[in-house]
Amino acid sequence: MAVSILGMDEQSLGLTMRTPGQDELLILGYLHSEGIIDSIDHVTEVNATEDTITAHLTGDANFEPNEHVRRSTITSSCGICGKDSISNLLHVHGHPLSESFKVNQQDVSNAVTNLGKHQDAFKLTGGTHACARVLRGGIVIDAHEDIGRHNAMDKLIGNAVKFGQIPITEEMVVVSGRASFELVQKALRAGFPVFISVGAPSSLAVDMANEHGMTLISFAAETRMTVFSGSGRVEMPQSAGHTARP
């Protein structure tokens, strides 16, 4: 992936392994998650070939080569590979999160079930990750798959950037795997108030969600879920199968 800023030479952001297709969305989401762009207004053109993606940015885009250029391959399993330190991600802040958006256990159950209906590549290969934008009631309005969980999230957010739908305020994001620190950071940057994962969260993911007031729900399934942060957005009866953590 590479970027070109008006008045500057082209700079390489690094290499990434990805499932081919939707490369424009991939780089738009990546640039937004990295804090390089805030909206599609910072992008004048995206050129994609079979092996390269180049974005041309306006002069007021927040691109700092020393900060944003990766020093190694960005693998499909690592969202921070090539960064000097984790502090390079901690300083990226997103939009204020909605306090009015609420979910219940049925919403979460429906979200997980409906995400599965959008995992065509996984059904064929068993080797892809997926994430989706979901409304109250569990209605999926957009979903993307990729061999890399971070790429799937970047494609999802990139589609929202492309159509001027950032920040995303009254929705939840659901991911097919675990809740990693990097995915929570990307979701916070986009404005999601609620993050749902089928798998476990990392301790850093929980810390970041708590710090920024995001609702983090993990181990989500048809009849159970665990709320790790932001329980104020969860309308949850105190019964078996439901666990809330402060």
Tokens describing residue 105: 């256990």
> In 3D, which of 151, 109, 159 has the Cα closest to residue 133?
159
CB 98 within 8 A of CB 193: yes
Q: Which residue has the tokens 């990307």?
A: 186
Positive or negative CA dihedral for 58, 64, 69, 74? negative
Q: Which of 37, 55, 57, 78 is catalytic?
A: 78
For residue 78, indicate whether it is catalytic. Answer: yes
CA distance 135 to 169: 10
- DSSP code of 197? E
* Number of neighbours of residue 63 by Cβ within 10 angstroms: 23
| Contacts of 33 by beta carbon, 8 Å cutoff, 6+ apart | 92, 153, 154, 157, 185, 186, 189, 190
Contacts of 179 (CB under 8 A, 6+ apart): 195, 197, 199, 200, 201, 202, 205, 216, 218
Report residue 204 as tokens: 């850093």
DSSP-assigned beta bridge partners for residue 235? 104
Say how far apart CA 116 and CA 64 lie, in whole Å: 38
| Catalytic site positions | 78
